[in-house]
Amino acid sequence: MKIRIFMSLLATTVLFWSCDEPQPITDSSFVYNPFAFKQDTLNTVSSITSGTSDIAWGDHLGGWVGFNEFYKAGVSMDFTFPDTLFDSTLVDSVRIEMRHVLSFPAMGTDTTVYFNMFETTGMTPDISTESYGDPLGSDTVLIDGGNDYWSFKLPSELFLQGDSAISLGIFPGVDSVLSLIHGSGSSLRPALTFYSHEADTVDSAGNAIITQLYHGIADTVYMHLMETPDIFDREQYAYLHQLSQDSIIFTLDIESIVPEGDTLIHISSASFFPAVDTLASRLYYATEDDTLRSFYLSVTDPISEITIDVQLGESGSYLSNEINTLIQAALDDERTIIDLVLRPNHIGYDPGFIAISKLNEETEIQIYSSMAVRP
C-alpha cells in the first residue's frame, strides 16, 4: 500500500514538472524551487502617450490612392533616365506601368476605379488643397480582378530633348475607394517605358514594329495622406494605423512583482493586453478569401532594444502577445518601471487601424513566474 502511495506521489511530481519545466538558474549559489509559482495581473499603467509622423515613403514600393471615410491618399514618383534618350525623331510613345493590388472595401460593387495623372516635377503635392501639379489626364483601372495591370500613355509633349528626370503623381478621382498600387511585371516599383515605331516597317502579321528604347523604374515613391478632419476621437482613444508611423508608449510600474530578499524571479509567461475598442477600430480582410482579420503590431522595450511581434485578431483578442523576454530584461536590469512602445509592424500595406483606450486602468499585463531562492 505504501508503494502505491509513493508511486502516486511520484507520478504527480513528474506531472507538475512536465507541465512547465522551468529554465535553470545558472548562478550556483541559488537553488531552484519548481513549485514556487506566482501569477500576477498588473493594472499599473502610469501613463499612455501617443504620436504620429510621416513615413519616409521613398523607401516603399507602392502606395495608396483614393479616399474613404477616414483617409484621402495619393502617390507621387521620381524618375531619372539618360539625358541622351530624348531624340524627338526616335521617341513617340511613353507609358507609365503600374499594378492594382487590391481596394477597400475589398471586392466591392464597383468594378473600376478612376485615377488622375499629374506631372509633379519641382513641387510637393498638397492633398488637403488638391494641389497636385499639372494634369495629364485620367484613366479607369479594373479592381474586381484583384491584380490588374495598368499602362497609362503620357502626352508626347511632356518630354523635351535633354530632360533627365521627371516626377509624376497619381491621385484619386471621383470614387470613394482606397486602392493599393505598385509596380508592374518584374519591377515592384512603377516603371516608365519609352517606345519608338519604326517607320514603314511591319511584322509578318502586318503590325507596325515597335522598339522599346528604355525601361526604368521609379527612384522613389511617396505617399501623400490626409486624415478626414475630426474623424478620430483622440480625447478617448490613441490610434495605430499603418499609413503613418504611429506609436503608443505605455509606462508601467512592475515593482510589485520584484521579489524580496535573496530571491530571483523567472518570467515564464507575460501577456500584454492594451485596451482595444473593437467598435472604434477598423480591421479589413487582407484578401477576399481570408477568414481571419488581423492587425500586426510590435512591442519594444527601448532600454533593452528587444522587440516582440504581436498579432491582434478580428474580435479584439490577441493571437500572439507573449512579452516575457521584455519583462525579464527589465527585472534583470533591476528596473521597477518599463516603457512598452506599441507600433504597427507592416507599415503601409493595410489601411486599417485600431483604437486603444487612454484610460490607464484598462490596460493590463498578466505574468506567470517562478522563483529561485538561496538555500
DSSP assignment of 35-79? EEEEEEEE--EEEEEEE-----GGGSS-EEEEE-SSEEEEEEEEE
Q: Across residues 53-82, what is the average pLDDT?
A: 83
Cell digits for 217?
A: 523604374
Q: What is the mean pLDDT of residues 204-226?
A: 79
* pLDDT the model gives residue 106: 52
Least confident range of 36-40, 112-116, 228-232, 340-344: 36-40
DSSP, res 25: P
Taking the C-alpha atoms of residue 371 and residue 331, their distance in angstroms, rounded to an integer, is 13
Q: What is the CATH number of domain 57-227?
A: 2.60.120
CA 41 to chain centroid, in Å, comes to 30
- Model confidence at 199, in pLDDT bands (50, 70, 90)? low
pTM for the whole structure:
0.77
What band does 286 get if pLDDT is binned at 50, 70 and 90? low
How deeply is 124 buried, as exposed, middle or buried, from its count of CB atoms within 10 A (0-12, 13-18, 19+)? exposed
pLDDT at residue 110 greater than cutoff 60: yes
Residue found under cell 507599415 = 347
- Structure confidence at residue 122 as a pLDDT band (50, 70, 90): very high
The share of the chain scoring above pLDDT 90, in percent, equals 30
CA distance 181 to 152: 14
Residue-wise pLDDT for 154-196, tens only, equals: 887 888 777 889 999 999 877 778 888 887 655 578 888 888 7
For all residues of the chain together, what is the average pLDDT?
Answer: 79
The answer to whether the beta carbons of residues 310 and 298 sit under 8 Å apart is yes
Decide if pLDDT at 294 tops 70. yes
Report angle CA 347, 351, 357 to the nearest 5 degrees.
85
Position 1 scores a pLDDT of 42
Geometric angle at alpha carbon 42, from 240 and 264, rounded to 5°: 120
Residue 2: band (very low, low, confident or very high) from pLDDT cuts 50, 70, 90: very low
- pLDDT band of 275, cuts 50, 70, 90: very high
Q: Is 328 left (phi over 0), alpha (psi -120 to 50) or beta?
A: alpha
Most confident of the ranges 191-195, 230-234, 254-258: 230-234
Q: Cell 541559488 maps to which residue?
A: 30
Mean pLDDT, rounded, for 229-238: 93
- What CA–CA distances, in Å, run from 314 to 117, 241, 271? 36, 15, 18
Kindly report which listed range (27-31, 125-129, 250-254) carries the lowest average pLDDT score. Answer: 27-31
Domain with CATH 2.60.120 in the chain: 57-227
Of residues 173, 370, 364, 366, the one with CA closest to residue 271: 366
pLDDT at 223 over 90: no
Question: According to the model, what pLDDT value does residue 11 have?
Answer: 42
Helix (H) or strand (E) holding 10: helix 2-19
pLDDT tens, position by position, 304-348: 999 999 998 877 788 899 999 999 999 989 899 999 999 988 777
Residue pair 290/284 in contact by the 8 Å Cβ criterion: no
Instruction: Say how far apart CA 200 and CA 309 lie, in whole Å.
Output: 61
Residue with the bigger pLDDT between 121 and 285: it is: 121
Percentage of residues of the chain with pLDDT beyond 70? 77
Q: Three-state DSSP class for 200?
A: strand
The Cα 89–Cα 332 span in angstroms is 72
Identify the band that residue 215 occupies on the pLDDT scale cut at 50, 70 and 90.
confident
Least trusted range by pLDDT, from 199-213, 223-237, 275-289, 340-354: 199-213
Instruction: Write the burial class of residue 169 (CB in 10 Å: 0-12 exposed, 13-18 middle, 19+ buried).
Output: buried
Position 17 pLDDT exceeds 80: no
Of 42 and 56, the structure prediction assigns the larger pLDDT to 42
Compute the average pLDDT of residues 281-289.
68
pLDDT at residue number 321: 92
